């Protein structure tokens, strides 16, 4: 073991610099008492120089920086992005955790590795976002989704800004950062950015487009309910697909577009796509909530008022994105529950046993739980199959928007608003605020207000127009 061969005291012994034998370049080390935390007792580190004058200068700078942090009430010599991420895990909800981890994996760990974030100022934040925009724009197409080849979405940057700022705020709250730097209020003045209105951020179906999707659903259900194609139980208690019953090559007798019905895995995948999408389209439940539902959460209830049956979905506070319990009523009365019974049968075909109340509503054949990203692996290929893979916002052909399971929630909400459903009732059913509904979906508050205020006027005779009012006509919402 090497021993200390020379040492020199500075500031009346507060700081000691020394070299060790066996080091050909005699690199200086420094030691001084740790005043930030109880452990370790001393700060020991290399000064990375064999020059005495430079070593003294560096040692005193480290000592003063350490004591300056203590004066500011800080508890650490340096703050890395990994330290802030650990603090964020204790503070963020599930969505915040997932999104911050995604930004960390792709950008933060790459840019901020080895950087002391407690020293960051506003100019450092600005430099990071300039780099981040250029990094995404320059990234070649591949596993990561790129909505545009040469620009980044302003809304994505705002989300990242909010999460990163919260991490800095957690660092400040834990006495690791003396001051939170200012973050950009908006990104419209940054180069290579684009803005898509809230109403166009996800692929949304027009009535004509949804008719194509609806026809596909009808064809899927027709084939699923065709008894001649249904799997048959074998001696082992499991089910054999039509193809297994009829032998290799038998499916060639069936139209190519319908051959999925003959194979176990493709049949169940198509059944999941059909049921999940039409469930969301008739209830407005979020995809992230659907994948957490269990069979016991769906029920059929009879109304004492009209004697009709209604499908009710229980979304518990642990399943809800906003952590509030709600009962969701399907707008098509009992029909969603009848589709559920068809879907239960398909689960039994796929797994060889009827599902129990506590089983996942949307299971996988290989894993026990299905996350949203896996759900979209079922939904998106099927939407692409019928021509709804991606689209463009109205005024920017360089930006691509993808259709997904969420497109069905958007369709549900938009149609309910167009059909005059009270926005408060709709907000409660969808687990979302009225403000979000108003800003994100095709809802004209002035027009809805006009309808409510003038409903009673029909019973009055208002007479002919005295003037040509079309001359003065203005658009609602202007």
> Does pLDDT of 112 surpass 90?
yes
Bridge partner residues of 309 (DSSP)? 302
Highest mean pLDDT among 22-26, 346-350, 453-457: 346-350
Confidence of residue 476 (pLDDT cuts 50, 70, 90): very low
CA proximity to 278, closest of 230, 198, 219, 347: 219
Which ranges in 233-299 belong to alpha helices (H)?
242-246, 264-283, 287-290
pLDDT score at 369: 46
Mean pLDDT of the chain: 83
298: tokens are: 């769906």
Collapsing DSSP states into helix, strand and coil, what is residue 317?
coil
pLDDT at position 400: 83
What is the predicted pLDDT for the residue at 247? 84
| pLDDT of 465 strictly over 60 | no
pLDDT over 80 at 403, yes or no:
yes
Please tell me the predicted confidence (pLDDT) of residue 478: 40
* Residue 144 confidence class, pLDDT cut points 50, 70, 90: low
Beta strand extents in 130-248 (DSSP E only)? 152-153, 193-194, 232-233, 239-240
Q: Is residue 210 pLDDT above 70, yes or no?
A: yes
pLDDT tops 70 at residue 365: no
Per the model's pLDDT, the better-predicted residue between 265 and 447 turns out to be: 265
423 touches 182 (CB < 8 A): no
Structure token pair of residue 253: 């007798």
For the entire predicted model, the pTM comes to: 0.70
The confidence band for 51, taking pLDDT boundaries of 50, 70 and 90, is confident
User: At 340, is the pLDDT very low, low, confident or very high (cuts 50, 70, 90)?
Assistant: very high
pLDDT of residue 345 exceeding 70, the answer is yes
Q: How far apart are CA 136 and CA 138, in angstroms?
A: 5
């Amino acid at each position: 073991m090497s021993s200390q061969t020379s040492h020199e005291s500075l500031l009346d012994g507060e700081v000691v610099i020394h070299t060790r034998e066996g080091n050909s370049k005699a690199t200086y080390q420094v030691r001084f008492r740790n005043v930030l935390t109880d452990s370790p007792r001393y700060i020991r580190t290399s000064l990375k120089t064999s020059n005495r004058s430079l070593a003294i200068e560096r040692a005193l700078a480290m000592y003063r920086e350490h004591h300056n942090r203590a004066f500011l009430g800080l508890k650490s010599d340096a703050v890395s992005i990994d330290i802030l991420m650990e603090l964020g895990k204790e503070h963020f909800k599930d969505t915040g955790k997932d999104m911050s981890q995604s930004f960390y994996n792709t950008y933060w760990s790459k840019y901020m590795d080895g950087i002391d974030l407690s020293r960051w100022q506003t100019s450092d934040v600005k430099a990071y976002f300039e780099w981040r925009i250029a990094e995404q724009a320059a990234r070649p197409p591949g596993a990561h989704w790129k909505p545009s080849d040469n620009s980044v979405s302003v809304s994505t940057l705002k989300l990242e800004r909010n999460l990163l700022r919260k991490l800095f705020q957690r660092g400040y709250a834990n006495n690791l950062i003396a001051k939170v730097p200012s973050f950009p209020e908006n990104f419209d003045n940054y180069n290579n950015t684009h803005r898509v209105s809230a109403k166009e951020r996800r692929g949304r179906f027009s009535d004509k487009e949804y008719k194509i999707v609806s026809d596909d659903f009808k064809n899927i259900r027709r084939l699923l309910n065709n008894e001649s194609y249904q799997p048959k139980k074998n001696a082992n208690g499991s089910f054999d697909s039509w193809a297994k019953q009829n032998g290799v090559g038998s499916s060639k007798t069936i139209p190519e577009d319908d051959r999925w019905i003959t194979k176990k895995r493709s049949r169940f995948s198509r059944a999941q796509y059909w049921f999940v999408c039409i469930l969301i389209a008739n209830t407005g439940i979020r995809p992230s909530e659907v994948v957490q539902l269990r069979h016991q959460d769906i029920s059929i209830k009879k109304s004492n008022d009209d004697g009709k049956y209604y499908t009710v979905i229980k979304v518990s506070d642990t399943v809800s994105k906003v952590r509030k319990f709600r009962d969701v009523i399907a707008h098509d009365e009992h029909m969603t529950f009848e589709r559920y019974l068809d879907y239960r049968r398909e689960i039994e075909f796929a797994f060889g046993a009827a599902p129990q109340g506590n089983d996942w509503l949307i299971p996988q054949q290989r894993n026990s739980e299905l996350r949203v990203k896996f759900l979209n692996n079922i939904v998106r290929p099927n939407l692409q199959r019928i021509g709804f893979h991606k689209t463009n916002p109205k005024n920017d052909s360089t930006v691509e928007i993808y259709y997904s399971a969420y497109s069905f929630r958007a369709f549900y909400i938009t149609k309910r608003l167009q059909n005059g459903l009270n926005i408060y009732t709709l907000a409660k059913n969808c687990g979302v605020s009225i403000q979000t509904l108003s800003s994100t979906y095709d809802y004209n508050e002035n027009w809805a207000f006009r309808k409510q205020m003038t409903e009673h006027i029909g019973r009055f005779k208002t007479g002919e127009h005295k003037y040509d009012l079309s001359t003065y006509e203005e658009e609602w919402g202007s």
